[in-house]
Amino acid sequence: MPKPIPSSALNRLVVALAYDGLCAFEFGIAVEVFGLARPEMGSDWYRFAVAAVDDGEMRTTGGVRFVADGGMELIERAGTIIVPGWRGIHEAVPEALCAALRTAHDNGATLLSFCSGVFVLAAAGLLNGKKATTHWRYTDALKARFADIAVLPEVLYVDEGSVLTSAGSAAAIDLCLHLIRRDFGTKAANLVARRLVVPPHRDGGQAQFIDKAVPEIHEKARLGPLLDAMRTELADDYTVARLASMAGMSSRTLLRRFEAATGTTPAKWLLLQRLAKAKDLLETSKLGIETIAEASGLGSAANLRHHFRQQFSTTPAAYRESFGTKNVTPLEA
């Protein structure tokens, strides 16, 4: 995991692409996260601009007509570039755009795609030999057209360092919060999530397609408090039998309803919550590794190290060195 670049050396300009046939929701996410004034985040926060891919008046998918203040010349100035969808997965990507994105990437820019925007990055050749994702409806088409990309069809987002891709629609919010967490730390991501009124963290490996939510009100009323209780007492021992008793269900029903609601098993869900807690403590506290392991419910330093290597390909100590509070931009009070 790379160590963050010192704040003074970072280019905080985020440029979102706009094009005829613009995916309005995905573009709106880019504006909402990066384009609003956030004085509470300090003077080093992102700046935002829009780069028009097409000349003149453009249209969104909802029938709105608009013009942008800047053109593709903004791409070469950007530190981060967002491709908020594309006008169609079978629509050609202009070579001028591909060339501009390749140049920006070579110059050190970070590139993000939301949903069908992955086809733009793929057309530019920026995903060759890398892992990527997109909306579950488009993964087969992405695989068929770009054999050099390792397509992950079920995850919410994929971070390949300088190129990041997300699944459809709301998964773009998860990717944006992940980038903020990477650039500024957990506290900043949590503040933005709170303003957006969304969960502060969904792991990138979480399933993007859940067959159905908790189907009945009385089951939702039982599973909701159960999840809250598990989050509150992460260090407790939770067997399936205990969870079923807490929820007032049989073990078989609990497992079925839990996966329908979360997309994963109780054990996997609990592990991700514990790792998220451990990451937060590593970033924001000076507690020892053994204490963090106990506080997050992972039991021992050895167990914490094992799961960190397995999930994040790094160690807790290396993670703290890279993302501890001394290495991220402090937020103004």
Q: Active-site residues: which are they? A: 115
| DSSP assignment of 247-287 | HTS-HHHHHHHHHHHHSS-HHHHHHHHHHHHHHHHHHH---
Instruction: Give the up-direction half-sphere exposure of residue 53: CA atoms within 13 A in the CB hemisphere.
Output: 26
Torsion angle defined by CA atoms of residues 284, 289, 291 and 296, in that order, rounded to the nearest 10 degrees: 70
Distance (Å, rounded) from C-alpha 239 to C-alpha 218? 22
Pairwise CA distance, residues 12 & 78, whole Å: 8
Q: Which helix (H) or strand (E) holds 183?
A: helix 171-184
CA torsion angle 106 52 120 160 (round to 10): 50
Q: Is 195 helix (H, G, I), strand (E, B) or coil?
A: helix
Q: Please give the helix or strand (H or E) that residue 243 lies within, else none.
A: helix 240-247
Whole-angstrom distance, CA of residue 196 vs CA of residue 54: 30
Give the bridge partners for 114, in sequence order: 84
Q: Pairing between strand 157-159 and 163-166?
A: antiparallel
